[in-house]
Amino acid sequence: MAVTLGTFLPQLMEGEQFRSAVAAMSEVDAEFVFALGNTDLEQLGELPANLRAVGGSDWLPWNALLRTCTASVHHGGSGSSMASMEAGLPQLVLPSVSESGINADAVARRGVGLRSSYQELSPELLERVLSDRAMRAAAEEVRRELAAMPAPAELVPRLLALC
């Protein structure tokens, strides 16, 4: 399962929020890759065997990571949400700033994921995102819908014709 909190949110968060997320993940029979950007990994403490954190000076392209995963957990940023949909993955969205609440609601409304909070993050919630068949089917349906959309280059002539 791919996990990210975006590029700037980790700088604002306290280590306790990270540690509670790590604790929930440690109880799930799954491999987690925590893409943390410039975050100081020291604040995570010792990591469980099923969690690999990539951060510090190492950057991990989110869309490339998603192609290797079965689900995603993220902060609800537009890029993280759309990339997860484009990959056809069920999502657990933990909104906290900006447009993230709107994105989390859209993900939940479409049935491709769940909205929760860092305080409510639990092993059961993570397991649901990994195993819910209806959520997985909806995520795959959205992936197909996005793949069928025209590329921006195809739309430019259409838009110019409207002028």
Give Cβ neighbours of residue 22 (< 8 Å, ≥ 6 apart): 34, 44, 45, 47, 48, 51
**What percent of the chain shows pLDDT beyond 90?**
64
Q: Which two tokens stand for residue 90?
A: 């069920």
Q: How high is the pLDDT of residue 102?
A: 95
Q: Phi and psi of 62, rounded to 5°?
A: -60, -45
Residues 3-25 pLDDT 10s? 987 765 555 555 566 778 889 99
- In angstroms, rounded to a whole number, what is the distance separating the alpha carbons of residues 12 and 37? 13
- Model's pTM, two decimal places? 0.87
- CB-based contact 118:126 (threshold 8 Å): no
Q: What distance in Å separates the CA atoms of residue 118 and residue 38, rounded to the nearest whole number?
A: 20
Which tens digits make up the pLDDT trace of 41-77? 676 778 899 999 887 666 778 899 999 999 999 999 9
2-161: CATH topology: Rossmann fold (3.40.50)
Domain locations in the chain?
A: 2-161
